[in-house]
A and B are shown apart, each in its own frame.
Chain A
């Protein structure tokens, strides 16, 4: 049973436009969410995160929105650039994953292609 779902396997956008990547979760114990970007033959690279006490976090061109009641988060990239083309993973950590237990639960990823 997938606790973190990314229902769009792929997304294609034009350079300069907005990219919106979506993620849904089912586990109410999740209280911290992260987005990772992954290029082929590389490990995931941290992009941006958000705590459940917030509904928005912004870092440059990247903004993550969290809707706790809908158990939904989204990553907005504005403006999109060809170098943003990669697989984007949504991940979550459970509240009270105590001590140093930092298990990440990932979605299956969305392949973003930004066309010049």
Chain B
């Protein structure tokens, strides 16, 4: 079975730009979550999608948005990038609360 894959692995963007990060879920997993990990911090929950609907959101502004597709893959979109958005963005897929699988993440740098 394939794991969770994220693309791209690294990205540099300019403040004010928009970015789209992509995630392919592990086979059989219908729930996908996105986390932001700033330097020296633990991952922070951004939001979660189940069957193409957002069903949970953390303390992130609306310029963070997402999509889940019928094949359970997902996108994270961030508009109007700020310097503080520089972080590692992690995608995790699951089918039950016991089965999280994380991708290797996308390292976003905003300059």
Contacts and interface: CB of A to CB of B under 8 A. Distances in A.
Contacts of A43: 4, 90, 92, 102-105
Given A43-B104, A102-B100, A103-B56, A108 B42 contact: yes
Contacts of B86: none
A17 B35 CA distance: 34
B56 A101 contact: yes
Given A32-B97, A100-B30, A44 B90 contact: yes
B9 to A, nearest CB: 9
B65 interface: no
A21 interface: no
A99 B50 contact: yes
Contact of B55 (A36, A49, A101): A101
Interface residues of A, number: 27
Interface residues of B, number: 28
Given A43-B4, A89-B43, A109-B42, A99 B98 contact: no
Contact of A103 (B30, B41, B48, B105): B48
Main secondary structure of the interface of A (DSSP, over half): loop
8 contacts: A32-B98, A97-B56, A101-B50, A103-B45, A103-B58, A105-B45, A106-B43, A108-B40
Interface of A: 4, 6, 32, 34, 36, 41-46, 49, 89, 91, 93, 97, 99-109
Interface of B: 4, 30-31, 33, 35, 40-45, 48, 50, 55-56, 58, 90, 92, 94, 96-98, 100-105
Given A32-B98, A108-B41, 6 more contacts: A4-B42, A43-B90, A89-B43, A100-B48, A102-B48, A106-B42
